[in-house]
A and B are shown apart, each in its own frame.
Chain A
Amino acid sequence: MTNALTVTAPEGLPFIDFTREFDAPVTAVFEAHRDPDLFRQWMTGDGFEMELDAHEFVSGGRWRYVHRDGNGEYAFHGMFHTVRENEFAIQTFEFEGLPDVVSIESLTFVDLGDGRTRLEGHAVYPTLEARDGMVSSGMESGMSSGYDKLEALLSSTKVG
């Protein structure tokens, strides 16, 4: 069974929070974030390629990646401000198409015991507009995936 993802974007505050549990020990979840090869594997989705320019998952390290799809390139970069093994990471995040709008994103790795881990993310945007822009830009691609899903639902119904 898939673990549920909770996302909240509170009204009037430029935050996005999420929590998600994993059926894997905290060391494995942390490693999947730290190791550039593993990280690229789960950050690459259907319909786009991902080029990982830099991924130094240590305090003071830098990161940059480029997503490519049929419409063009989208590059993102930032710094890992603090990375504490199996515990915590906080980084900056900037979409190069929207320079100087930088969000600060923290990630807490919670060891739940029994080989389970909870990931808690908290992103702080410079303005509410930036936060809402982020949500709605994801919205577009999500909507097209939504269409795909609807299409699949509809095509599963046989029509002569």
Chain B
Amino acid sequence: MRRTEADEVRLDRAFAALADPVRRGIIARLSRGPATVNELAEPFDITLQAVSKHIASLEQAGLVTRTRDGQKRPVHLAPAALEELTAWIDGYRLVHEQQFRRLDAVLEKAKEKKQS
């Protein structure tokens, strides 16, 4: 559960990489399977070069990898990195947070009942 400084740096990088809508779009597309740069560029109204740059920063953040598959070099999602990204959400805390948000709703309802 304890994270090292290196983990923190990696997390920072991953979150920074996901702060951009184009890069989130790329990740969303890759969650359905690997794709080439051309395929990834298709939905966006930007140059291939710009898309390549986005892919490079996702690669640096460890969120995607590229294989040497002839000329195409398809881009793959790196599932381990995504796992790490979501693990930072402390589960115990999350469970309780959800519980207490429901308690908020119950209390709100009780308040309305009293007033009506």
**Residue ranges of A at the interface with B (Cβ–Cβ < 8 Å):** 2-3, 5, 7, 9, 16, 18, 20, 22-24, 28-29, 31-32, 38, 41-46, 119, 132, 134-136, 138-143, 145-147, 149-150, 153-155, 157-160
**Residue ranges of B at the interface with A (Cβ–Cβ < 8 Å):** 1, 18, 21, 24-25, 27-29, 31, 42-43, 82-83, 85-108, 110-111
Q: Are B99 and A43 in contact (CB under 8 A)?
A: yes
Q: Assuming A2-B101, A138-B92, is B1 touching A160 (CB within 8 A)? A: no
CA distance A119 to B100 in the complex (A): 10
Note all chain A residues with C-beta closer than 8 A to B18: 153
Note all chain A residues with C-beta closer than 8 A to B43: 158-160
Q: What is the predominant secondary structure among interface residues of chain B facing chain A?
A: helix
- State how many angstroms separate the Cβ of B91 from the closest Cβ of chain A: 2
Q: Are B99 and A145 in contact (CB under 8 A)?
A: no
Q: Are A139 and B92 in contact (CB under 8 A)?
A: yes
Q: Which of B29, B31, B98 contacts A45 (CB 8 A)?
A: B98
Q: Are A7 and B102 in contact (CB under 8 A)?
A: no
- State how many angstroms separate the Cβ of B24 from the closest Cβ of chain A: 4
Q: Which of A23, A29, A139 contacts B91 (CB 8 A)?
A: A139
CA distance A43 to B95 in the complex (A): 10
Note all chain A residues with C-beta closer than 8 A to B106: 32, 38, 41-42
- State how many angstroms separate the Cβ of B103 from the closest Cβ of chain A: 4
Q: Are B87 and A146 in contact (CB under 8 A)?
A: yes
Note all chain A residues with C-beta closer than 8 A to B93: 5, 7, 138, 142
